[in-house]
Structure 1
Amino acid sequence: MEWKVMAIRGATTAAANTALAIQEAVTELLDALESRNQLEPKSIVSATFSVTRDLDAIFPAAIARQRPGWDSVPLLDVQQMYVPTDLPRCIRFLIHVNLPPHTHVHHPYLKEAKNLRPDLSFAPASSNRT
């Protein structure tokens, strides 16, 4: 079977700039990524996390690295470009994965981040891997 590198986007918001609030947000976001896409960490090529400048209590990648199977995934944290009208306390990711061609992916946008991409926020999860 041939595989294709695909990108999955997602975002959420943290309730506060605390390690616990960021950990809860990142965990919920990655749980949604894995469950809605039936994704196994061994399929992940790399992950980049960005946070708005009002989040600096902990690195999202440090949280991801603690998940089963994520310890060998190349991870990177960056600060999102500052725009005054940006959504506060926002955590975004861009994850590259190896999947069979024609796989439909679900891009999880949670909490206040649903407003960033309403066209993707309510897309149903797909289990089709044709």
Structure 2
Amino acid sequence: MNQIKNLNYNLSFIRGATTSLGNTKVDIEDAVKELIDELIKRNEISAEKILSITFTVTRDLNACFPASIARKYNGLQNVAFLDCQQMYVPNDIKHCIRLMAVVILPLNVSQNHPYLREASKLRPDRC
């Protein structure tokens, strides 16, 4: 990892989630793009300030990898990505895509965690 030379910044962890309309590449792509857009917009960050993103998906999503979509989008080709399957819990939200992003934020900026679509039920306090 590159050294952070400016001490006016913090290493921050941002959570977020959304849902896909279905288990198709197009539906997952739409959901991932919207989630990444909101992550960037709400936290006023550029691609070079995103160090890594870990995606988890519920077991009903297997048409494609969210990281393969995100990597080609919004200048994120140099970000470290990882895809994982979310632990199965009965009655969990269907078609759910969660993320945890490791980003560099200015000291005076608060994290804004995007919870979109049906995933807004997970954290109504952050919608």
TM over 0.5: yes
Q: State the superposition RMSD in angstroms.
A: 0.9
The code of the aligned residue for 1:115 comes to K
The number of equivalent residue pairs is 121
**Secondary structure of the residue that 1:93 maps to in structure 2?**
strand
Quote how far apart the aligned CAs of 1:68 are: 3.3
**Which sits farther off after the overlay, 29-38 or 17-26?**
29-38
Segments of 4+ in structure 1 off by > 4 A? none
Q: 1:30 aligns with which of 25, 33, 36?
A: 36
1:109-120 mapped onto 2 (5 Å cutoff): 109-120=115-126
Question: Identity of aligned pairs, percent?
Answer: 50
**Secondary structure of the residue that 2:125 maps to in structure 1?**
helix
Structure 1: where are the runs of 5+ without partners? 122-130
Aligned counterpart, 1:18 = 24
Q: Does 1:68 align with 2:77?
A: no
Quote how far apart the aligned CAs of 1:39 are: 1.1
The code of the aligned residue for 2:69 comes to I
The code of the aligned residue for 1:6 comes to S
Q: 1:8 aligns with which of 14, 18, 26?
A: 14
Residues 14-47 of structure 1, C-alpha deviations (whole Å, 9 max, x = no match): 0000000000000011111111111101001111
Structure 2: where are the runs of 5+ without partners? 1-5
1:74-113 mapped onto 2 (5 Å cutoff): 74-113=80-119
Q: Does 1:57 align with 2:57?
A: no
